[in-house]
Amino acid sequence: MRKSAIKLFVLVPMCIVGGSWAVAQQRTVVKPLDGYICMGLKTDKEFGDDWAPGSVPPKPGQPGFSGFPVFQSPTEGSKVLGYQVTTVFVAWPEDEVDGFIKIVRMNKAKAWIRKDVLVPFGMVVGKDGRMVKQKRTCTPVEMSDGTIATQIHGAYLE
């Protein structure tokens, strides 16, 4: 009988602490990220062939495509920090240097991406091949865990 009481005494506080820890770890929006806007990335239907010879990455939808390179400084010769595959947070007003645009990554690190891979947020290629603006908006936001995320409102068009 005494062993069961001890187990209960130890388990109940662990459950309470464990439960409160899980609640404390939920991410919440703190505020909009000032000085940045959302932009999209080109798709395979609108991706131009104007990259320098030897630097053409696989196009979206092709095998080997892992996103558009994100650079440490505004030159293709600088260190590649990673690859962007979705919404981009662009400094606003736009900060352009030699065809590169300053961005901020989800971890708040500043980086640069080629301007020619960006499109206004919500622009997609429609069924007729023309660019179509979807009825949705995006706001970059700071999260409670210190990262950046997107708040997207509106509907996707078919």
Residue 66's pLDDT is what?
Answer: 66
Strand-pair partners of 131: 125
CA 120 – CA 118 distance, rounded (Å): 7
Band (48; pLDDT cuts 50, 70, 90): very low
Band (106; pLDDT cuts 50, 70, 90): confident
Give the Cα-Cα-Cα angle 20, 26, 30 (nearest 5 degrees).
125
Which amino acid is present at 113?
A: I
Q: Is 110 helix (H, G, I), strand (E, B) or coil?
A: strand
Burial bucket for residue 79 (CB in 10 Å: 0-12, 13-18, 19+): exposed
Residue 15's pLDDT is what?
Answer: 38
The answer to whether residue 12 scores a pLDDT higher than 70 is: no
Q: Could you tell me which of 86, 95, 82 has the C-alpha nearest to residue 35?
A: 95
